[in-house]
């Protein structure tokens, strides 16, 4: 009896780690989220006319293009920092150097080099807009630049915010002035 319980618990734990389980639990939890939003006076219902009017606004597209452009520049900065001033150009993965994945064979892979960092940077700058809305044009550009240079962390932050968490796994450290004794540590 105890052995069967341990086997079932192992199967449940393995199932809980699958992407399908995460997607299902997010979908099931949406009903409670919608009810909570309605209690606060926020409607999650889609208004197609308002959405269409918003997407026709030229100022929106101008801001999105600027954020994406500065995110791409941030991705370029990240490439320069990580490769000590060098840039990796797109190339085919050499035979024997690629890591086999479930989705592709190394012989079929192309490394996008700096283009991948720039695309990720642009996408991260746009994703950040879903969690943080800048109030000035300079904040939009600087946030895009920083988001582009730290795209992986930005995606984790936005994912955490969208899934209901704080976006961070641990609370931020309290900011305090740096002391001479802190430099040695």
Numbers of helices and strands, H then E, in the chain = 8, 2
Which residues pair with residue 92 across a beta bridge? 110
Q: What is the pLDDT of residues 154-175, one digit of tens each?
A: 989 888 888 876 545 444 444 4
User: Measuring CA to CA, which residue among 120, 117, 137, 127 is closest to residue 158?
Assistant: 127
Sequential DSSP letters for 67-98: HHHHHHHHHHHHHHHHTTT--PPPEEPPTTTS
Tell me the average pLDDT across 52-65: 89
pTM of this prediction?
Answer: 0.59
- For residue range 107-158, what is the model confidence (pLDDT) as tens digits? 677 778 889 999 999 999 999 988 888 889 899 999 999 999 999 899 898 8
Domain ranges of the chain: 1-43, 46-168
Average pLDDT over residues 17-40: 57
What is the arithmetic mean of pLDDT over 21-36?
Answer: 56
pLDDT band, very low/low/confident/very high, at 185 (cuts 50, 70, 90): very low
- Distance, C-alpha 145 to centroid of its chain: 15
């Amino acid at each position: 009896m105890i052995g069967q319980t341990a086997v079932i618990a192992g199967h449940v734990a393995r199932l809980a780690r699958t992407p399908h389980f995460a997607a299902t639990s997010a979908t099931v939890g949406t009903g409670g989220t919608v009810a909570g939003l309605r209690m606060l006076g926020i409607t999650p219902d889609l208004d197609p006319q308002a959405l269409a009017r918003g997407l026709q606004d030229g100022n929106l597209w101008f801001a999105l293009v600027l954020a994406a452009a500065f995110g791409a520049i941030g991705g370029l900065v990240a490439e320069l920092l990580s490769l000590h001033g060098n840039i990796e150009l797109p190339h085919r993965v050499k035979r024997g150097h690629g890591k086999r994945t479930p989705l592709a064979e190394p012989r079929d892979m192309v490394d996008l080099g700096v283009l991948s960092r720039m695309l990720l940077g642009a996408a991260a700058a746009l994703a950040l807009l879903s969690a943080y809305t800048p109030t000035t044009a300079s904040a939009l550009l600087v946030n895009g630049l920083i988001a582009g240079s730290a795209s992986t962390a930005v995606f984790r932050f936005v994912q955490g915010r969208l899934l209901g968490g704080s976006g961070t796994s641990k609370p931020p450290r309290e900011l305090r002035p740096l002391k001479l004794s802190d430099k040695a540590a």
